[in-house]
Amino acid sequence: MRLAVIGLGRMGANISRRLMRGGHEVVAFDRDAAKVAELAADGAVGAASLEEAVAKLEPPRIFWVMLPAGAPTEETVAALSGLAETGDVVIDGGNSFFKDDIRRHRECAERGVSYVDVGTSGGVWGLERGYCLMIGGDKAAVHLLDPIFNTLAPGYGTIARNANRTGSDDRAERGYIHAGPAGAGHFVKMVHNGIEYGLMQAYAEGFDVLKGRSSEALPEDERFTLNLPDIAEVWRRGSVISSWLLDLCALELARDNHLERFSGRVADSGEGRWTIDAAMEEAVPINVLSAALFARYRSRTDDRFGDRLLSAMRFGFGGHVEMPQ
């Protein structure tokens, strides 16, 4: 199929490349002309403006928007919705908040334009491994886009088939699903990222406990200096906690077992927060997912006012002195 990809950052560029490798034609646009030129060198049709991208497509036109969530996506979808004609399809492949999708879908529908939200997981490895796609939107539009999703997704690959699956829809086994109406794609992706935070923090805490075992405050025979790279590696084989995230831990620990090139000031994007919001709307308790998010907040501050208040109370009732030296 022929489609435009709007936004040629790491994700947008790689998605374009995987689509072209799969036989699709990509009209590529980015505000940064250098990125357009780079992708044109790889075989894409470059476009110097949204209007030019529109002009280089045939109806029904397909636009894959791959921009940061928030204003960049919002403005581009609005612009495209103005340029598009009845029957055209706008895909938001970024990390938008699912309630924005619901609204945009409604606004696009009023103009006869389809809006499809696609949560995309796979990161920098997706070009080779394929992308896991979680799709929300109207059935007809999702059906129209099937060849695109099929190309982007990993396919069966070498993952063991699930012996308990029956039925004829094997899209999930090929790496993409139509999760539900508008917003459902990004909702599922949001929860995916919420889980991701929890998994990551579970490993982080476990390795912290391993690392902490060498503390000289411990009795000598209960003190171990453990080989973290070997532990990460061995857990990849036959253990209950093997995972792709653990593979990544093993990769980095093998490079430097002190991880000294990392700051440990850990960013978070909207999905972690939105997952907690969604859970609160549903009255679902999520102590692990929230603790994982809060650990990131804490990692970014050296000194909290609340901790000083604890010291102040301890001084107040017990005369305990916790003052800077």
Smallest distance from its own copies to CB 181, Å: 7
Integer-rounded Cα Rg, in Å, for the chain is 24
Is residue 31 a contact residue for its own copies (CB under 8 A)? Answer: no
What x-and-dash track marks residues 275-304 binding its own copies by CB under 8 A? xxxxxxxxxxxxxxxxxxxxxxxxxx-xxx
Is residue 56 a contact residue for its own copies (CB under 8 A)? Answer: no
Q: Find the binding residues for its own copies in span 245-274 (CB under 8 A).
A: 245-255, 259-267, 273
43 Ramachandran zone, left/alpha/beta (phi>0; psi -120 to 50): left
Q: Find the binding residues for its own copies in span 181-200 (CB under 8 A).
A: 181-184, 187-188, 191-192, 194-200
Is residue 216 a contact residue for its own copies (CB under 8 A)? Answer: no
Task: Report how far residue 27's alpha carbon sits from residue 18's, in angstroms, rounded to the nearest whole number.
Answer: 13
What are the b/e assignments for 249-277, b being 16+ CB within 10 Å?
Answer: bbeebeeeeeeeeeeeebebeebbbbbbe
Is residue 72 a contact residue for its own copies (CB under 8 A)? Answer: no
Nearest CB to its own copies, comparing residues 49 and 239: 239
Is residue 315 a contact residue for its own copies (CB under 8 A)? Answer: yes
Q: Known catalytic residue: 211?
A: no
Judge whether 84 and 77 are in contact, CB under 8 Å.
no
Q: Which of 144, 175, 139 is nearest to 62 (CA)?
A: 144
Give the CA-trace dihedral at 236, 240, 244, 249, to 10 degrees.
Answer: -60
Is residue 21 a contact residue for its own copies (CB under 8 A)? Answer: no
Q: In Å, how far are 89, 112, 135 from 166, measured between CA atoms?
A: 32, 36, 21
Is residue 33 a contact residue for its own copies (CB under 8 A)? Answer: no
Task: Report how far residue 313's alpha carbon sits from residue 320's, in angstroms, rounded to the nearest whole number.
Answer: 9
Q: Known catalytic residue: 139?
A: no
Burial (0-12, 13-18, 19+ Cβ within 10 Å), 83: middle
Catalytic residue (choose from 52, 196, 233, 252): 196
Smallest distance from its own copies to CB 86, Å: 22
Q: In Å, how far are 63, 145, 150 from 60, measured between CA atoms?
A: 10, 11, 19
Smallest distance from its own copies to CB 162, Å: 5
Smallest distance from its own copies to CB 310, Å: 5
Q: Find the binding residues for its own copies in span 120-139 (CB under 8 A).
A: 121-126, 129-134
Is residue 113 a contact residue for its own copies (CB under 8 A)? Answer: no
Smallest distance from its own copies to CB 47, Å: 26
Which active-site residues does the annotation give?
189, 196
